Amino acid sequence: MKVLVVDDSIVYRSAISKALEEVEGLTELKTASNGKIALDLIKQGDYDLATIDIEMPVMDGITAIQEIRKFNKQIKIICFSSLTMNGAQKTIEALNAGANDFAAKVTDAENIEEGIELVRRELVQKVLSLTELKRVGPATSRKAKKSYAGGALPGNLCSFKPRVLCIGVSTGGPETLKTILKDISPSIKIPIVIVQHMPEFFTAKLAEHLTTICPLPVFESFEGQILEGGKIYLAKGNYHTTLKRESGEVVIHLDQGDKVCYVRPAVDLMFKSIGEVYGQLAFPIILTGMGSDGLNGCRFLKEVGCPIVIQDEESSVVWGMPGAVAEAEIQTNVVTLDNMAEIINKVCA
């Protein structure tokens, strides 16, 4: 595996390079101080992955990603960004430009060793997940087989009339959500609740962006918000989002309890609360993402009688979350990304 580290700061180039030394299968690691140099190196070499800082002189990260994607669709790109409102906006732009994932730029480390450890904790697992097929070949398990690729609905969804659609997604999520939501029907009258693993600030910017391309309004969730049909609610970053029925209304609650599956917000908690409120009338979907968040939530919803949909392996950026559901043999339908909006429209509209 060949990796390119792109950052104008020699401190960050060193920290990222040091953190990546433990990645199994790494055969070559080079660095570049700006996007222009990175562009030239990628044109000359067969790199598998690049980490690219967003803020750089000569050619910034967003421009570099746009230029790379004009001639190379295969290389995996992780952009680095600060955990600020401005950083969140630029991260969404970088993901729209073609970055596969993002990592937080560490600004509060007391020394270089701490900085390397923070980068390692944030970055290494993402590198491993994004390059897994390159390292070990295609997945050997085929417990999940496509059951829907357009046309007539599967039998278990033909007469299903859900009262809420709930979606869990992580790595590769912003572009995947964009692909789905731009094509959903404006006639959908049930609420849609989404958990996308993202830090605080980032979810607000993602909601703003999705609203511009989706026929339904998209909101970042807030405490005490009443769920309404025909609207989309994106879980607030760094807060768990759960639902409760109060005085005849379904109300959103936020909390900063312990992380679940190493994340907050967690799909598991949101799915479980939705099952408690809506029972078998919930329609859960697990999309691309790293890890296994959503597995326990799907178990709970399956037990109360909900049909489960997962994204297929081929169209997922990382098949961790949907793959975990497939391995547990609790999913009922596997759907390609290209057909996800269609199945949502047929079931929910």
Query: How many whole angstroms separate alpha carbon 195 and alpha carbon 170?
Result: 8
Q: Could you tell me the CA-to-CA distances from 69 to 48, 77, 96, 106, 218 in Å, in that order? A: 13, 10, 11, 27, 28
Q: Is the peptide bond before 215 cis (omega within 30 degrees of 0)?
A: no
46 is catalytic: no
Supply φ then ψ for residue 206, to 5 degrees.
-65, -40
Query: How many whole angstroms separate alpha carbon 300 and alpha carbon 274?
Result: 10
Q: Copy the structure tokens of residue 314.
A: 């081929």
Q: Which residues of 102-122 are buried (b: 16+ CB within 10 A; e: fewer)?
A: bbbbbeeeeeeeebbbbbbeb
3-state secondary structure of 193: strand
Q: Which of 240, 293, 312, 316 is catalytic?
A: 293
17 is catalytic: no
- DSSP for 213-235 reads H-SS-EEE--TTPBP-TT-EEEP
183 is catalytic: no
Q: Which of 101, 129, 197, 312 is catalytic?
A: 197
Q: Which of 17, 81, 129, 170 is catalytic?
A: 170
The residues assigned a catalytic role are 170, 197, 293
